[in-house]
Structure 1
């Protein structure tokens, strides 16, 4: 089995879907989503390498120095799977975008560090 990083992505525009919800409806969706996410984590606990979590503000560091920046990454988890396709299938209908207003989940293999 290999390790795979699943990156949860969301844009400010994806939150517009929640603007029409009342505070009560929004809180209900949050509770429903957290329960579904917890169920997903429990169902897949045997393949969790790192349970991950939400991501905060972003700093960019390059040859020009350090600057504030932004991207669409909202959270992550690292799992084990037999293949890239098998890892991706684990996120079909995930609460990140089926209940919460996230855009998608991207899954990539964690490659080994090359050695000379």
Structure 2
């Protein structure tokens, strides 16, 4: 079955807006979102090859050196599905975009063997 990289994205301004909420407001979003995220993973367990993880600040390496930079990537996981459309459908109701301030989930097919 084809394998896809699903990349969670979030705009910097949306993350900043979330972090500017009171602790109680952030905790309320977490209290709603975390159980929904767990339920989403349980519901889609047959498709999840690698749970991946969330990521932090970016350091870019180029031929000109190493520097801090930014991008919208905040996490990833690897899924199997019949097609890119089927993989995308898995994420339609994902808490990253329905509860948390996530911008989207980018779906990309692996063109080489995915990591184990």
Q: TM-score range by the shorter chain?
A: 0.7 to 0.9
- 1:104 matched to 2:104: yes
Q: Distance in 2 between matches of 1:57 and 1:18?
A: 17
Q: Distance in 2 between matches of 1:44 and 1:15?
A: 26
Q: Distance in 2 between matches of 1:105 and 1:17?
A: 19
**Aligned position for 1:92:** 92
Q: Distance in 2 between matches of 1:15 and 1:69?
A: 16
Which segments of 5 or more consecutive residues in structure 1 lack a partner in the other structure? none
1:23, distance to aligned residue in structure 2 (A): 3.0
1:91, distance to aligned residue in structure 2 (A): 0.5
Aligned residues, how many? 113
Q: Distance in 2 between matches of 1:18 and 1:53?
A: 20
Q: Distance in 1 between matches of 2:48 and 2:86?
A: 14
1:59, distance to aligned residue in structure 2 (A): 1.3
Q: Distance in 1 between matches of 2:56 and 2:45?
A: 24
Q: Which has the larger radius of gyration?
A: 1
1:108, distance to aligned residue in structure 2 (A): 0.7
**Aligned position for 1:76:** 76
- 1:65 matched to 2:65: yes
Measured on the aligned residues, the alpha-carbon RMSD in Å equals 1.8
SS at match of 1:102: coil
Q: Distance in 1 between matches of 2:67 and 2:16?
A: 28
Which segments of 5 or more consecutive residues in structure 2 lack a partner in the other structure? none
